[in-house]
Amino acid sequence: MLLKKIYFSAVCLLPIHIAFAQLPQDSRRAGGIAVIPITAEVTQIFYEQSPVLISQEGVQRYAVFGIPMSAPLGTLTLKTNHKPIEIEVKPYQYAEQHLSVKNQDYVNPKQEQLDRYAVEAKEQNDIYRSFSQSTWTQLPSFIRPTAGKFSNSFGRKRFFNQEERAPHSGLDIPAPIGQKVIAPADGIIIQTGNYFFNGNTVLIDHGQGLISMFCHLSKIEVTKGQHITQGELLGLVGNTGRATGAHLHWGMSLNNARVDPQLFIK
């Protein structure tokens, strides 16, 4: 009842494509998401090799497109089975972070550690590139995976002991060791494991190329292949892998683009 009320009042004030509760926020920047109304003729959308998620909200369908961190500013074109879709990627200033990491293995890993990381990175990239048919037509809603303040950490340019590294691809939520981490939405556990940088990790496939990742856990409570529903326990907060303190690293990937998880939370 309450939802209906919000929906009707929102329709009066907002453009229709952001009036629905389930869709992520539209933010057209590198690492952001474009929520694009599409016509009935459009049934398939691709960005480079990756299929793009489509959600049905009432009578309207939407492309929900993850804009890669590496996307240049300006016009970006999505291919479809009908007319191409163009979106404008706008400038956005991400913060910088200078970290002092004491364990040299994480700053300048040894060859055997680099070899281990190469195998793990390939495994994770294969998961991000996967596209499973969804059991839903309307994108599921998301809730916070653990309690705590969201740090403004997604997209940060990172320097480890003055050396520039890849921008931060997830959202860090500082929390005590042992705090519960729950599934933010329904899905299937696509992988669990202990990784060099990410520590104990769980990955969930939510369908149509939407993958979530939870890292640095002290304990994993799920197994690969398991169906999971929103709110179910995934594991416990920890500081395994390359972590400067206890926190949850929450990553979201759409069409193989790492995007800001905050856009999924209202």
- Of 220, 172, 176, 183, nearest to 200 (Cα)? 220
With contacts defined by CB under 5 A, how many residues of the chain interact with Zn ion? 3
- When the beta carbons of 83 and 165 are compared against Zn ion, the nearer one is 165
The distance of Cα 15 from the centroid of its chain, to the nearest Å, equals: 25
Least distance to Zn ion, CB of residue 151, Å: 9
Residues in 118-177 at the binding interface with Zn ion, rule: CB under 5 A: 170, 172
Distance CA 227, CA 204 (A): 9
Residue of the chain from 249, 252, 254, 255 that contacts Zn ion (CB under 5 A): 249
- When the beta carbons of 139 and 259 are compared against Zn ion, the nearer one is 259
Least distance to Zn ion, CB of residue 249, Å: 3
- When the beta carbons of 25 and 97 are compared against Zn ion, the nearer one is 97
Question: Which part of the chain contacts Zn ion (CB under 5 A), choosing from 50-58, 87-95, 183-191, 244-252?
Answer: 244-252
- What is the dihedral angle through the alpha carbons of 66, 149, 231, 204, rounded to the nearest 10 degrees? 40
Q: Do residues 202 and 217 lie in contact, with contact meaning Cβ atoms separated by under 8 Å?
A: yes
Least distance to Zn ion, CB of residue 75, Å: 31
Distance CA 84, CA 80 (A): 6
Distance CA 24, CA 1 (A): 22
Question: Which residue number places its CB atom closest to Zn ion?
Answer: 249
Q: In a 10 Å sphere around its CB, with 0-12 CB exposed, 13-18 middle and 19+ buried, how is residue 141 labelled?
A: middle
Question: Which part of the chain contacts Zn ion (CB under 5 A), choosing from 25-33, 107-115, 119-127, 248-256?
Answer: 248-256
258 binds Zn ion (CB under 5 A): no
260 binds Zn ion (CB under 5 A): no
Residue ranges binding Zn ion (CB under 5 A): 170, 172, 249
